[in-house]
Every structure is written in C-alpha cells, then in structure tokens.
C-alpha cells in the first residue's frame, strides 16, 4: 500500500507534527509506503492547493491527513483533492473535534474589513462568518471516507456537529512510544510535573495558585512537595503583546513565595522527555478551554502530554477540559473542574495525604501505555486504510 500523508512533520515543533512523525515511521515499519507531498509548504493554504495541482498522484492508494492545531493547509489540500479525484479514498485524524478547522482562510467582504480594526471587531467578524466556515467544514467532512478521533467523546461530538454517518467514524487512541518502565522515585518529596508547551491558556496560573494555597493551608507540606515546569517555550508562543509569558510566570512564582518549590526544565530534547517525566510521580495538566472557542463549539481533543504520561507509566491530575475526563477514566489519575483552583488544591492535598495513590495511578497508566504503543496503533490505522480502500472500489 502507498499512501500520501498530509501533515506538519518534525522539525516543526508542535504536537501534531510529533504525532504525524511517529505515525509515519510506524506505518513504514509495517511496509506501508508513505509520501509527504505537502512537506515544505508550511501552513499556507494556497501553496497546499498548488502542490495538489502539481504533485504526481499516480499509484497513491489513499490520502490521510492530520487536521487540527489551527492549521488550514491540510484542510484545503483535502478539498482540492476531492474536487479533482471523486473516488480517491480520503481519511483524516481530527485532533480538535467537534470541528475540523474552526476558522476560514479568509473572511468574506465586508467582514474582512473588520479584521483590520481593533478588538473586539475582528472577533465579531469571525463569529459572523462562522456559519459559512461550518458549512465548508461539513461539506468536506461528508465527502471523507473515514474520520478518526482520539477519543469516543470527540467522536460523538464530531459526528453530531458535522452530520456524519456512523460508517464514516473511527476511534484510535493517541499512540505512545514504547518507553521502558521505571519505578516511581521515593514518595517524599512528592514530585509534580507540568509538561507541555508553555504559553497562555494552559491554566499554569491555576496550578501555581493551587500550590500556593496548599502550602499556606498546610505549612508542613512545604518540605514534602515540589513542582517542575517543563516543556517547549518557542518565542511565538511564549511572547505576546503583553510581553514574555515566562517572565510573567516567574514573577507570579516570586509573588506567591514559591521559588523554593518550583524548578524549570525548558525545551526538553525529545530523547530526554521520558527521563524527565519518570523522575516525577504525577503529571498535572490544569488546562482551561478557550472562552472564545466556546462561542463556536465544543473543543473535545486530547493532549500529547497526556499521551507521554501514559507512555512513561505516570498518573495525572487534570482538569475536565477537552476529552481529558475520558482519558483519565482508567484509574490512571484524577479529574477536577477546570478553572476551579479550590478543587485543584483539594486534589493536590489528597495526593499529599495519600501518596500511594501515585503508585496505583502509575500501574494503570503503564498498562494503558502498553496497549497504545505506536506499533499497535499503526496496525489499527493500516486496517482502517484497507477498509477505506475497499469502500471506494
């Protein structure tokens, strides 16, 4: 089988590029030939359409795309392919259900004029144009052979919002690298880890506030708990109109009197990620859903950081944002209501009072990780591709 993979790929630094890179290598290990016709176009819809027009599609059995993360290139490449090849099997992993892309490439006139004005007028223009965006998403979704989500919750939301047939849907959980198991460190001090790209909207402020409240309410815990903030800090994510986000976090840490409890491990090389995660007991992901996106729909994706925790055999405390509730329903952690700092503080307090919970969560995570290694995940995709080709014969 020869497929075309439409996706960002390493060295691009984002979760979907990492995912696509691992999937590609795992499929090639099964003997699938993988071509990447969009490589080098970046997130440029016009360049993607041009590449579709110029590329040689002879011998391609199926096209698979990775859609999400605010990217539009893959979406428009799929639209161009469907217009050109009515019978070519098209499949995609949708990373941010219940929508495909959530925004248009360009706003129609006269709304496009608002995009150049001061906030909130550009946001108003986006909302007013959303019915057109949703129509285009539904149009493509209904022409796809198969759409894959990483969770059942995301699958249900995507099917309902796009108006899809059950036969078009599939769930394949996020793949994991095969990480050698490593026992938990000694349970004192309790080592907590935030891991992921460090930028606004991840709820990191909630975690800092919860930790401050924890040691204020129970001063005896100050010597028994530590937190590491680890992950990517790309300038385009860590800097914005209000300045350096990293420096804002450091200032907040100083103001809360947490400097002695918090360490940093920024821009972790890929080969060091497992050792960083396994040096801790529990990962904490305090994500908040975007209030802006709530106007447009429900974001029911999952997290590459959650996948890393599973692969490394570590439990998680996470908010109920996205589809995290489903991902931590296997006895591998605890969920709290997003944005509720008091609830997060209580979850941390329970873990400190019963640190053996970390071991139980780790055991369940390790089992789940073995079930989701990329080699098995690629086999599920390979089977899905074969069925998709049979449907379009």
Tally Cβ neighbours within 10 Å of residue 309. Answer: 32
| Entry field: residues in the chain | 393
- For residue 285, the model assigns a pLDDT of 97
User: What's the pLDDT tens digit per position in 168-207?
Assistant: 999 999 999 999 999 999 999 999 999 998 888 889 999 9
For tokens 């390979």, name the residue: 382
Query: Beta strands of the chain (E only): which ranges?
Result: 2-6, 33-35, 62-67, 90-94, 146-149, 169-171, 190-195, 225-231, 239-240, 243-244, 262-266, 282-285, 315-319, 333-336
Query: Residues of the chain with pLDDT > 90: what percent?
Result: 82
For 195, the token pair is 């891991």
pLDDT in tens, 68-124: 988 999 999 999 999 999 999 999 999 999 999 999 999 998 888 888 888 888 888
Quote the pLDDT of residue 273. 94
For residue 183, report the phi and psi dihedrals to the nearest 5 degrees: -60, 155
Average pLDDT, the chain: 93
In CATH terms, the fold of domain 190-371 is Rossmann fold (3.40.50)
Residue ranges, comma separated, of all CATH 3.40.50.2000 domains in the chain are 2-174+373-391, 190-371
Distance CA 194, CA 202 (A): 10
Segment 41-56 shows an average pLDDT of 96
CATH superfamily of 2-174+373-391: Glycogen Phosphorylase B; (3.40.50.2000)
Reported confidence tier of residue 292, pLDDT bands at 50, 70, 90: confident
pLDDT tops 60 at residue 242:
no
Under the banding of pLDDT at 50, 70 and 90, the label for residue 239 is very low
Residue predicted with more confidence, 127 or 236: 127
pLDDT band for 291, please (50, 70, 90 cuts). Answer: confident
The full DSSP string for 111-158 is: HHHHTTSSTTHHHHHHHHHHHHHHHHHHHHHHH-SEEEESSHHHHHHH
Tell how many helices (H) and how many strands (E) occur in the chain.
16, 14
């Amino acid at each position: 089988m020869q497929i075309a993979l439409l996706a960002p790929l390493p060295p691009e630094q984002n979760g979907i590029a990492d995912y696509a890179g691992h999937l590609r290598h795992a499929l090639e290990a099964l003997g699938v030939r993988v071509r990447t016709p969009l490589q080098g176009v970046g997130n440029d819809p016009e360049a993607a359409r041009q590449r579709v027009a110029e590329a040689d599609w002879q011998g391609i059995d199926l096209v698979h795309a990775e859609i999400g993360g605010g990217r539009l290139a893959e979406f428009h490449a799929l639209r161009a392919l469907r217009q050109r090849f009515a019978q070519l099997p098209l499949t995609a992993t949708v990373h941010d259900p219940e929508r495909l892309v959530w925004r248009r490439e360009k706003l129609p006139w006269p709304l496009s004029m608002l995009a150049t004005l001061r906030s909130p007028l550009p946001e108003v223009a986006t909302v007013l144009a959303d019915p057109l965006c949703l129509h285009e998403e539904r149009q493509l979704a209904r022409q796809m052979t198969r759409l894959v989500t990483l969770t059942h919750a995301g699958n249900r939301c995507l099917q309902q919002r796009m108006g899809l047939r059950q036969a078009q849907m599939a769930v394949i959980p996020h793949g994991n690298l095969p990480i050698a198991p490593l026992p938990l460190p000694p349970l004192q001090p309790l080592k907590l880890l935030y891991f992921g790209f460090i930028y606004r909207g991840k709820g990191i402020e909630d975690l800092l506030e919860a930790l401050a409240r924890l040691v204020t309410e129970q001063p005896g815990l100050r010597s028994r708990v530590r937190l590491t903030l680890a992950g990517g800090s790309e300038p385009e994510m860590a800097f914005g109109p209000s300045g350096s986000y990293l420096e804002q976090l450091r200032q907040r840490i100083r103001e809360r009197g947490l400097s002695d409890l918090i360490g940093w491990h920024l821009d972790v090389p890929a080969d060091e990620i497992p050792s960083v995660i396994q040096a801790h007991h529990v990962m904490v992901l305090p994500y908040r859903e975007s209030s802006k996106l709530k106007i447009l729909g429900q974001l029911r994706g999952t997290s590459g950081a959650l996948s890393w925790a599973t692969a490394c055999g570590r439990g998680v405390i996470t908010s109920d944002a996205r589809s995290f509730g489903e991902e931590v329903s296997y006895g591998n952690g605890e969920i709290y209501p997003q944005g509720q700092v008091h609830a997060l503080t209580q979850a941390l307090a329970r873990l400190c009072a019963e640190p053996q919970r970390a071991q139980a969560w780790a055991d369940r995570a390790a089992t789940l990780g073995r079930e989701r290694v990329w080699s098995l995940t690629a086999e599920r995709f390979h089977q899905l591709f074969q069925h998709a080709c049979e449907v379009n014969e």
